């Protein structure tokens, strides 16, 4: 079982690596990693389990965050109270975006960043992501709002980008009026 301590901290240079394309079939270890990532994300969003296992709440995770420089991400989205949709995308690519940009009003967070970060991170309100499922079948996902933010955030991890890289250091709320808060 993954624990919070197993997730790399922002100070770890591994997080700045570009992850490598995955070749199919997936290895047993990759399948195990995906299962552990989903389990962590699900448990971290269920208050009793998060407290019991001392898990920081999270919605998404990229393989690089557990030290695996491969291009796969998992997102566990609570679509309604206690109902979770799991997304596993291998070799994900954003193939289209909306013109509209949004930002998370309370601020974006990250399982690898153990501190509050002030400022806005402009993101596309809607994205279409293409990639592959665990069996190597091509998939296409259309996401909006918080789910779109999660896909952009996790795909950035695969390219060595952390969310605070987008925040203007001198003016953390620069251009805030140009985007819609969610």
Q: What residues are annotated to the active site? A: 154
Cα–Cα distance for residue pair 114/112, rounded to 1 Å: 6
- Name, in order, each residue with C-beta under 8 angstroms of 4's C-beta and a sequence gap of 6 or more: 54, 55, 56, 111
CB 103 within 8 A of CB 120: yes
* Residue 164, helix vs strand vs coil: helix
Nearest by Cα to 31 from 84, 74, 92: 74
Counting beta carbons within 10 angstroms of the beta carbon of residue 116, is it exposed (0 to 12), middle (13 to 18) or buried (19 or more)?
A: exposed
């Amino acid at each position: 079982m993954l624990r919070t301590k197993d997730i790399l901290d922002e100070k770890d240079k591994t997080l700045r690596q570009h992850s490598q394309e995955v070749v199919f079939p997936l290895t047993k270890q990759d399948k195990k990693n995906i299962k552990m990532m989903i389990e962590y994300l699900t448990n971290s969003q269920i208050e009793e389990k998060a407290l019991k296992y001392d898990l920081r709440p999270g919605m998404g995770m990229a393989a690089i965050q557990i030290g695996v420089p491969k291009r796969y991400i998992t997102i566990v989205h609570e679509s309604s109270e206690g109902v979770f949709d799991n997304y596993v995308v291998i070799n994900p690519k954003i193939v289209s975006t909306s013109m509209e940009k949004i930002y998370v009003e309370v601020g974006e967070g990250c399982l690898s960043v153990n501190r509050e970060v002030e400022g806005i991170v402009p993101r596309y309100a809607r994205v279409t992501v293409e990639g592959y499922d665990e069996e190597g079948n091509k998939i296409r996902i259309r996401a909006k709002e918080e789910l779109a933010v999660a896909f952009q955030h996790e795909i950035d991890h695969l390219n060595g980008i952390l969310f605070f890289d987008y925040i203007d250091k001198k003016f953390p709320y620069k251009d805030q009026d140009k985007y819609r808060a969610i």
